[in-house]
Amino acid sequence: MSEKEIPCRVCDAKIRPFMTFGPMPIANGFLKKEETPGEYFFEMEVAFCEACGTFQLAEQPDAKRMFHENYAFFSSLSRHMQIHFQKYAELVKDRVLKGRKDPFVVELGSNDGIMLRHFSEAKIRHLGVEPSKNVAEAARQKGVNTISEFFDLALAKKIVAEHGHADAVICANVMCHIPDINSVAAGMAHLLQKDGVLMFEDPYLGDMFSKTSYDQIYDEHVFIFSATCVGNAFKKHGLELIDVLPQPTHGGSMRYVLAPKGSHPVSPNVPALLEKEKSLGLDRAKTWEQFKSNCEKSREDLNALLKKLKKDGKRVVGYGATSKSTTVLNYCGIGPDLIEFISDTTPIKQGKLTPGSHIPVKPYEAFAENHPDYALLFAWNHATEIFEKEGTFTSGGGKWITFVPKVGIIE
């Protein structure tokens, strides 16, 4: 692990990595066999800043390696997520837009319009900012106004000049991807009306700590946020945390509600969560030493379990070639000797190998038509939906293996 000091991305304090996950490929870098010799790896180290409470990657690969024209993540493919974003849009309408004259909503990272279409259909003025051109085009096809640009203060000024200030600025699973958080926060603060509201949600640090779900850490997630850190990060841009709303998505997320200081009352949820984070020690470096040993224990246990099953002659298959699984497989050193293949419903992943660990990814049918003895649940954030539809696997004697919150066989 490197000893070098780096500046905290939020507050510029000098910090050092406290843990490395080892050489890591791009989490969504599924590749063909002939591409494996040139595969890219970076040392995935994490650091915690005690000054502002921010958990962050020490170094993030170049954005071009992570997001390119083949990066086609279409939010609308998941039914559960569709419902989630419909409810999110309803909350924005009820809580923020109600009673306002001709309100204007801006979403950053609006993907294929999964959330904004609810504003478009209600004839509410809206604008999506989505740098990925292919998904932005999919949104426009649905009648969702979308521009394909990166958001910063300059773009915020351009939007204000053209449309006026926004009553609501919203995003989901976007903020934790953006390394230059200060530039985006400054742009958001400029874009908002004096009494406008900013809402965003991302995987929550408290869940990651309590579940040892270290698989939230991968190249794209430069931050794992807490209320402590979000409060500190936005304070210097004049925005105040006015509410926090826990969400079940992505294995435990938090929705942060912010507004220009003094413009809205602060919900009691905010001091309560800040207090809870303090009592859990989420704001202290010592806690992250504990997290590191929890990760090491998880790695040991998963290897021991898979090796025992192999010795017993059992077939083990992975379920869901998630981005998260790249961290688990590479950190734990698990390859095709322990996991026969991973089944996944995403066509562009099928027929390829998992990044770094080189386990074949096969279509869902490979799992359904020849059930293994054990299925390792990499898509654990969708467990409810998956257990519901895989009744015949378990009734036929198949068993699920999980590693969150602890490694084990689900009985």
Residues of this chain that interact with Zn ion (CB under 5 A) are 8, 10-11, 13, 49, 51-52, 54
- Site for ligand TYD contains 322 (CB under 6 A): yes
Please state, as a whole number, how many other Cβ atoms lie within 10 Å of the Cβ of residue 347.
9
Closest by alpha carbon to 22, among 51, 69, 58? 58
Nearer to ligand TYD, 232 or 325 (CB): 325
The residue within the footprint of ligand TYD, chosen from 379, 401, 404, 407 (CB under 6 A), is: 379
3-class secondary structure, 340 = coil
The residue within the footprint of ligand TYD, chosen from 29, 189, 381, 404 (CB under 6 A), is: 381
Q: 381 contacts which partner out of ligand TYD, Zn ion, none, CB within 5 to 8 A by kind?
A: ligand TYD
What totals of helices (H) and strands (E) does the chain contain, helices first? 14, 19
Nearer to ligand TYD, 80 or 157 (CB): 80
In contact, 88 and 111? CB cutoff 8 Å? no
In contact, 225 and 53? CB cutoff 8 Å? no
Give the pair of three-digit tokens for residue 61.
Answer: 């690969």
- Site for ligand TYD contains 306 (CB under 6 A): no
- Site for ligand TYD contains 386 (CB under 6 A): yes
Please state, as a whole number, how many other Cβ atoms lie within 10 Å of the Cβ of residue 123.
7
The residue within the footprint of ligand TYD, chosen from 117, 237, 324, 362 (CB under 6 A), is: 324
Q: What is the nearest approach in angstroms of ligand TYD to the Cβ of residue 324?
A: 4
3-class secondary structure, 207 = helix
Binding-site residue total for ligand TYD (CB under 6 A)?
13
- Site for ligand TYD contains 346 (CB under 6 A): yes
- Site for ligand TYD contains 394 (CB under 6 A): no
DSSP labels, 300-311: HHHHHHHHHHHH
C-alpha span between 408 and 400 (Å, rounded): 9
Nearer to ligand TYD, 294 or 345 (CB): 345
Summarize as ranges the residues that interact with ligand TYD (CB under 6 A): 320-324, 344-346, 379, 381-382, 385-386
